[in-house]
């Protein structure tokens, strides 16, 4: 029965391993090292309405705002 009700299961991580001393864009750029295509990063930041904070350091953002930054799974 559970198979019919919940065909897809996802995960939500509480700690995104962002580097507090780096800016949002610096954290996103690290994904390139991992081989992740970040070409749509700007567009995603716009959709999330957080592009105005892309040059802020993570440590200067509230916990709620830092959870909005794109994780690799959202690319």
pTM: 0.59
Distance between CA 69 and CA 44 in Å, rounded? 9
Q: How far apart are CA 73 and CA 63, in angstroms?
A: 20
8-state DSSP, 23: B
Q: pLDDT tens digits for 11-40? A: 555 566 788 899 989 988 888 888 888 888
Q: For residue range 48-63, list pLDDT tens digits in order.
A: 888 899 999 988 887 6
- pLDDT tens readout for residues 34-45: 888 888 888 888
Give me the residue spans of the domains in the chain: 2-74
């Amino acid at each position: 029965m559970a198979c019919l009700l919940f065909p897809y299961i996802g995960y939500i991580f509480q700690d995104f391993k962002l580097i507090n001393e780096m800016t949002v864009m610096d954290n996103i750029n690290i994904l390139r090292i991992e081989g992740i295509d970040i070409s749509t990063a700007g567009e995603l930041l716009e959709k999330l309405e957080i592009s105005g904070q892309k040059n802020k350091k993570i440590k200067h953002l509230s916990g709620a705002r830092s959870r909005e930054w794109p994780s690799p799974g959202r690319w």
